Structure 1
Amino acid sequence: MSGPTPGASGRELRAEMEEFLFHEADLLDRWQLMEWLELFTLDCRYVVPSTDRPDGDPTRDLVLVHDDRFMLEQRATSLLTRSAHAEYPHSRTRRLVGNVRVVERPGELDVRANFILTRSRSGVVDTYVGRYEHRLVREGAELRFRERRAILDLDALSPQGKLSVIL
């Protein structure tokens, strides 16, 4: 089953969103977390629902991560210190992002994409698979995340056992 074929402007918009998401993945894989934070609005929200409620609402359901800008800054800062034992030395990660879809709404863009993240540490490779649901806005000429949801397509966090990197 094929979807609609986007016009030239739709292809350009999708290409812009792909480039933005590829840049974000590169920053995360290189552990450039402070630069990564610059991709977020001041009123942002970062959510990772639990594996048993992938469409969970963080205001009423238990989620793995529900960060506002302050908590996201704390998370990034913590991951860059030696005291983050689960990530010191840093894991080697590699993200693949694809199947990007964009819906333009007044004042914002809804962007969906699929991801695969591999994390290598101490001879063990963990794989996380899922989808992103993002709400992006333009601040001047720059794109920013207002909301970033990483929804895992896993039944449980096993064999990984934990989530110590940013999806």
Structure 2
Amino acid sequence: MSDVQVAPSVAVPVSDPQLRRIEHFLFEEAQLLDEWRLHEWLELFTTGGYYLVPSTDRPDGDPSRDLFLIQDDRFLLEQRVNSLLTRAAHAEYPHSRTTRQITNVVATEGEDGRLRVRANFTVYRVRNGVLDTYVGQYRHVLEVEAEESFRFVERKSVLTLDALRPHGKVSIIL
């Protein structure tokens, strides 16, 4: 499954300027998602990138052996984006309106040069007059690109919810 290894190696906290750039990257990503600019959002992934959402009963699960709500490699993620942008995605047509909040961003750099980023999130989703709230923690692995830009190697949204009630599903990108 995911080739991202979280080794018990030494992780070094990033500098304050680097942390600000990471926060800016996360805020821009949130804006792309809230504006349903999903093709642009998809470009934030490496060609081997993954989008993961573990099940609520196994938030620290391993995608190679545990059931995940979403376990997309780049190919499946492209299919998800294309589907969400058509009328055929009944759960999201018309599109939900979302507002995201990202806080408590912490980042370290591993010996492999990749960044491990953790941040708390809240996603408010409004659809058909109903407000759903998703809360959790992002656990991302980023690759540093030229000119201090970033790409997702792994984008993981770990829900703090103990069940998907009352909404019962995740039809948006968290």
The TM-score range, normalised by the shorter chain, is over 0.9
* Aligned residue among 64, 73, 80 for 1:75: 80
Q: Could you say which residue in structure 2 is the equivalent of 1:135?
A: 141
* Aligned residue among 141, 144, 155 for 1:148: 155
Q: Could you say which residue in structure 1 is the equivalent of 2:93?
A: 88
How many angstroms does 1:140 deviate by? 2.1
Number of residues of Structure 1 aligned to a counterpart in Structure 2 = 161
Q: Could you say which residue in structure 1 is the equivalent of 2:26?
A: 21
Q: Does 1:162 align with 2:136?
A: no
Rounded Cα–Cα distance in structure 1 between residues aligned with 2:83 and 2:144: 28
Q: Deviations over 1:2-21 (max 9, x none)?
A: xxxxx9x7211110110000
Rounded Cα–Cα distance in structure 1 between residues aligned with 2:114 and 2:38: 24
How many angstroms does 1:64 deviate by? 0.2
Rounded Cα–Cα distance in structure 2 between residues aligned with 1:32 and 1:149: 19
| Letter paired with 1:139 | E
Q: Does 1:109 align with 2:128?
A: no
TM-score (structure 2 length as normaliser): 0.90
TM-score (structure 1 length as normaliser): 0.93
Q: Could you say which residue in structure 2 is the equivalent of 1:3?
A: none
How many angstroms does 1:160 deviate by? 1.0
Give runs of ≥4 in structure 1 deviating > 3 Å: none
Structure 1: runs of 5+ lacking an equivalent? 1-6
Q: Does 1:100 align with 2:102?
A: no
Q: Could you say which residue in structure 1 is the equivalent of 2:56?
A: 51
With 9-18 and 65-74 compared, the bigger mean Cα shift is at 9-18
What SS does structure 2 have at the residue aligned with 1:35?
helix
Q: Does 1:36 align with 2:41?
A: yes
With 138-147 and 116-125 compared, the bigger mean Cα shift is at 138-147
Q: Deviations over 1:60-88 (max 9, x none)?
A: 00110000000000001100000000000
Rounded Cα–Cα distance in structure 2 between residues aligned with 1:99 and 1:48: 20
Rounded Cα–Cα distance in structure 2 between residues aligned with 1:136 and 1:63: 21
| Letter paired with 1:117 | V
With 106-115 and 128-137 compared, the bigger mean Cα shift is at 106-115
Give the superposed CA RMSD: 1.4
Identical-pair percentage: 60
